[in-house]
Amino acid sequence: MFSRLMRIIKPGDRRKERRVKVRFPAEVGGLKGRVTDVSLGGFGFYPDQEGLAEGDEVMAVLMPDEFTTIEIPCRVVGADDEGMVVCVAFIKVTPDQFDPLQDIIAHQALG
């Protein structure tokens, strides 16, 4: 199953971790918005308002479904070419955070 998953997730990505497209609510540094893609290394975040700057260390609260909330410390590492999506890297992922992140990636990639 893992090899099938790795073929489905964006193979040409230059990032260390593979990522998948998603769409679910989140808060980053207290700002609401939505996650646009996620990997085991971080995620893209489309905030509802401005207020995040590169280098900010913040707490992210990911809400992939009505039953799951993942709180994880992060660092803002940049933005996309248009400046609309903020690139966020996880600072440290614990086993309690890793399993739900892996489930999100596998579920989205495998449908």
Q: What is the pLDDT of residues 41-79, one digit of tens each?
A: 999 999 999 999 999 999 999 999 999 999 999 999 999
**Looking at the domain that runs over 2-110, which CATH code has it been given?**
2.40.10.220
Predicted confidence at residue 33, as pLDDT, reads 98
What is the C-alpha separation between 27 and 43, in angstroms, rounded? 12
Widest Cα–Cα separation across the chain: 40
pTM value? 0.82
User: In the structure, how many helices (H) and strands (E) does the chain have?
Assistant: 2, 6
In tens, the pLDDT along 90-108 reads 999 999 999 999 998 888 8
